[in-house]
Chain A
Amino acid sequence: DQQVKQNSPSLSVQEGRISILNCDYTNSMFDYFLWYKKYPAEGPTFLISISSIKDKNEDGRFTVFLNKSAKHLSLHIVPSQPGDSAVYFCAASGGVRGGSRLTFGEGTQLTVNP
């Protein structure tokens, strides 16, 4: 049972434009959401997070939006840069077996073309 899903395995965007990465979840007990970025041959690095008490969190070029009623979150990157090309993972925390467990999506490969 895939509780966190990223339905787009890949996304290609032109430099300077907006990148929008999407994530859907099924467990209504999730109360904290994170985005991680992963370059090849490196581990995932934390990018930005949002608590379920908010619907938006912004950090520089990165903004995460949370729609609890739709169980959907998205990551906006604007303007996109070639260095943003990486795999982006959505993760959720909480639920019945919450505690320190993070549930990850499959990842979306973002390619930003110069």
Chain B
Amino acid sequence: ETGVTQTPRHLVMGMTNKKSLKCEQHLGHNAMYWYKQSAKKPLELMFVYNFKEQTENNSVPSRFSPECPNSSHLFLHLHTLQPEDSALYLCASSQDRVQQYFGPGTRLTVT
């Protein structure tokens, strides 16, 4: 596998469920990111990790909980989500501060 992979690609969950999104990068990068893309809106940065340490939390509700066990893996744990959380969740990685490489995203639907 090369690049940035994300699983699952599609997820439907109820508001009381707990699920996790997984991201893995095979590029040797030291920074990883979670973005949310809602329809007709810009990509919204959620979290940034540098060398496994969280360096940015963009005022994300606590029902979203990131985890970065190492520089290659990033998780987004989800619990008690709301229907308005339905969106495309994108993971990205980078080696420097500029060019980021994105995964294909997880299309999340909260029912």
Contacts and interface: CB of A to CB of B under 8 A. Distances in A.
Interface of A: 2, 4, 9, 32, 34, 36, 41-46, 49, 89, 93, 97-107
Interface in B59-111: 90, 92, 94, 97-105
B42 A99 contact: no
A49 B100 CA distance: 12
Contacts of B97: 93, 98-100
Interface of B: 4, 6, 31, 33, 40-43, 45, 48, 50, 55-56, 90, 92, 94, 97-105
B45 A101 contact: yes
A45 B99 CA distance: 10
Contact of A49 (B31, B42, B48, B99): B99
Given A34-B98, A93-B97, A101-B56, A44 B90 contact: yes
Given A46-B101, A93-B98, A102-B45, 18 more contacts: A2-B42, A4-B42, A9-B40, A32-B98, A43-B6, A43-B90, A44-B102, A45-B102, A89-B42, A93-B97, A97-B56, A100-B94, A100-B97, A101-B45, A101-B56, A102-B98, A103-B42, A104-B42
B58 to A, nearest CB: 9
Given A32-B98, A43-B4, A93-B98, A106 B103 contact: no
Contact of B98 (A36, A43, A49, A104): A49
Contact of B104 (A36, A43, A99, A106): A43
Contacts of B45: 101-103
Contact of B99 (A2, A41, A43, A46): A46
Contacts of B105: 42-43
